[in-house]
Amino acid sequence: MNGNVDAKADGVFDASNSPSKRRVDDGAEALPAVAHGENDGDDPQPKRVKIDAENGAEPSEVSPVVSKRQRIPGVAMIKEEFLIKDAAGNVADSRGDAGEADDDAAEGRDAGNEGRGGGGRGGRKAKKRGGQNKDRDFGRSRDAVRLCASVAHSPEFSPKTCRLGERCHALHDLRAYLRDGRRGDLATFDGVCPVFAVYGRCPSGWKCRFVSSHMQEMARDDGRTELVLVEKVKAASNGEGEPAEAAYAEDDDARPGVVNVVPAVEKQNLTRKRADLSRSEQYIRWLDQEVHLVKKIYNNHKKPDADVQEEEKKKMEGLAESTEATEVPKEGASNGNETRATKEDEKGQQPPLPPPPPPPSQPPAEPEADPPTAEDYRAQYIDPPFLPSEKRRLYFGPETPTLAPLTTQGNLPFRRLCVELGCQLTYSEMALGVDLLTGKQPEWALMKAHETETTPPRFSPPASSVVTDYDNSRDLKFGAQIAANQPWQAIKATEAMARLVPHLRLVDINCGCPIDLVYKSGGGAGLLESPNKLERMVRGMNAVSGEVPVTAKLRIGVRDNSPRYKKPADWGYIAECAALVRSYNAARDALTDTVRAPDPRTQAANAKGSTEDRLYFLGNGDCFSHVQYAQQLAEGGVDAVMIGRGALIKPWIFEEIAAGQYLDKTATERLGYVEKFARYGLEAWGTDEQGLGTTRRFLLEYLSFASRYVPVGLLEYLPPSLNDRPPAFRGRNELETLLASRNYKDWIKISEMFLGPAHPDFKFVPKHKSSSYEMEAEG
């Protein structure tokens, strides 16, 4: 469903068309919250209730009113007819600790709550079941026999030359591989390879689990039949104006529709320290000199220069040797020569002089310089770095809801799904700067983006804002986030990304990651405790990033040990920070046309104008509906809102924001999003056995969040709260109940609808340990 939503379309809940006089747009009660679409299940629709009598009607003349329950803080109030009750008629408890224990999965955090008990269960058994599963093992998804790469994409009778020759242990017999070396073809997606159906070619070749849909037997002149792959390359490109076929020939890692693919040779140069990062090295040398100068001036315990210290040491050594030489004759004689010398001294003769010191060593002759060449006399051009005002200008506004950087969950298929549903700005998963500099493939794979993320974001500023010098056609949606604990890591990684990743909106430095591995090493949220280091990082990144702007994602606090996700986000504090930013902008505006006005060339590359030439400030925290989005914009005073867990649970939140209304998605529509995720995953990671395993793993991670969604048609109160835990409930049909299951075995069942049976060696351990919903549903 696109962003232009008809209020009368199926699956759309519009409070203005409800017979109830109460509004649901302003955070008030919603009774009942009913979709105008058709009922998917067999359960009867709740009765519509008229809650105020017009024309002075008495209460007895009004339709029967369903008794309302009082809203309980922290609990999602579900209508009575959808609750699961035990034999005694009591409502079952919440569906487990999943709503709290693994919320940190959105940021890749280890909450350190291994021993936390289940909700309301109590006792040692509940504590053992709670918490998170660490060091999860996902098994392996591989073919029974490995097919040689020289055969994987070639016709049967004309394979490529194997580099290992006779030493190769992989299989070269194509028919034997298709018969015994792999599992059979899948019947999902009507048995047609989803990648081949869209792009006309499958990068997985013979390893594809849908290979029968793009292969055929060709009769040859000698009477033999040859197996060949069918290719129907369409006009699609790789996002860089290059045909998809040429992209495959250039880099085996390239896939249709995927951009920012770094060539293998560039990653090898980074691994072997051959990459040209001269700008970063030059800036780091200057930065070290500045730091040394500051320490020399402001440090109370000054240390002498190394040269002076070495000279003093040599003088002391020379003085000690001289003293020792003059005291030797005064010591007691131990042989005949010393006795005769003593007697001569007694007769008045002078003692012999000490031997002269050795002559000073001559400095080594300098090697002769090479004769000058013609290249030495050429004019040398040094490209100066971009000034802050020369960088590509950014824009953030109410019409640009942003998907927050999400570890593990913010993968390419999920971002593509969110962009399709109306997301305007996206971020990559957090990449470690030191791993980028060593050329590690998993980190550079995080820089990949889909071609839909390279399109410009929506730009419709309010009439009160005048925006100039902003070229929306040059802007794009995709930005990258990195983490580093030292300035040199962030600076060099930024230069490498600016040079190797062509489709990049901005580079964001992570100052909020609470992962112990990052925080205890001084990165992530630890940077907030070292403001000087953070300043050197940002200035250095800005100097080497070219035209790519630099931003920072901050955390509201560092030293608070209380769990963040057990209480609402502190938007009051975010509003204070936004007010502080506005005061900076106002103070700068007051200096305009004065001698104290800053140099415009040194100002940030934001959209210039009478009201938009300022520092942008975004807020992030607990946005779960269009009502909360508008409220956070108004009360928080921010330019835009980042959405994290809310988008993981219901990706169509961006549709709701664009439409300005709640969307009661049917179970069929939600299952369609799961199918799209599976398709997009196969396009991104491949349709071979390994690609299927990767897609299945991340699909299950997505379902672990999507299963928390409670349809708005089942709720008594709106807007829904992200931190409210629902009691055990049944959906309006079996499919809706299945999608709400917190049992990971049901998630695997859903994945098999599109990816077929899981590999025998595939494993999935859910982030959370609780599976109490399974027992509550049975009770």
CB of 686 within 8 A of CB of 204? yes
Name every residue whose Cβ is closer than 8 Å to that of residue 468 and which is 6 or more positions away in sequence: 607, 608, 609, 612
Q: Which residues of 411-437 are buried (b: 16+ CB within 10 A; e: fewer)?
A: bbbbbbbbbbbbbbbbbbbbbbbbbbb
Peptide bond into 385 cis (omega under 30): no
Q: Which contacts (CB < 8 Å, 24+ apart) does range 243-246 have?
A: 244/199, 244/200, 244/201, 245/201
**CA neighbor of 430 nearest in space, from 404, 396, 394, 400:** 404
Beta strand pairing call for 640-643 and 618-620: parallel
Q: Judging by DSSP bridges, how do beta strands 215-219 and 225-229 pair with one another?
A: antiparallel
- Backbone dihedral angles phi then psi of residue 548, each to the nearest 5 degrees: -80, 125
Task: Count CB-CB contacts under 10 A for residue 743.
Answer: 19
Rg of the Cα trace of the chain?
35
Enzyme catalytic residues: 513
Q: How many CB atoms lie within 10 A of CB 268?
A: 12
Which residues have C-beta within 8 Å of that of residue 532, sequence separation ≥ 6? none
What span, in angstroms and rounded, lies between the C-alpha atoms of 444 and 435? Answer: 9
Phi–psi pair at 394, nearest 5 degrees: -110, 165
What tokens were used for 69? 């329950």
- Which neighbouring-strand residues pair with 426? 478
Question: CA–CA separation, 375 vs 343, rounded Å?
Answer: 76
The CA distances from residue 138 to 5, 130, 168, 291, 698, in Å, are 39, 20, 29, 46, 11
Helix (H) or strand (E) holding 426: strand 426-427
Are 281 and 487 spatial neighbours (Cβ–Cβ below 8 Å)?
no
Beta bridge partners of 508: 481, 551
Neighbouring residues of 531: CB distance < 8 A, sequence distance ≥ 6: none
Q: Report d(CA 648, CA 701) in Å as an integer.
A: 10
Q: Give Cβ neighbours of residue 635 (< 8 Å, ≥ 6 apart).
A: 571, 575
Asked if the bond preceding 719 is cis, omega within 30° of 0, the reply is yes
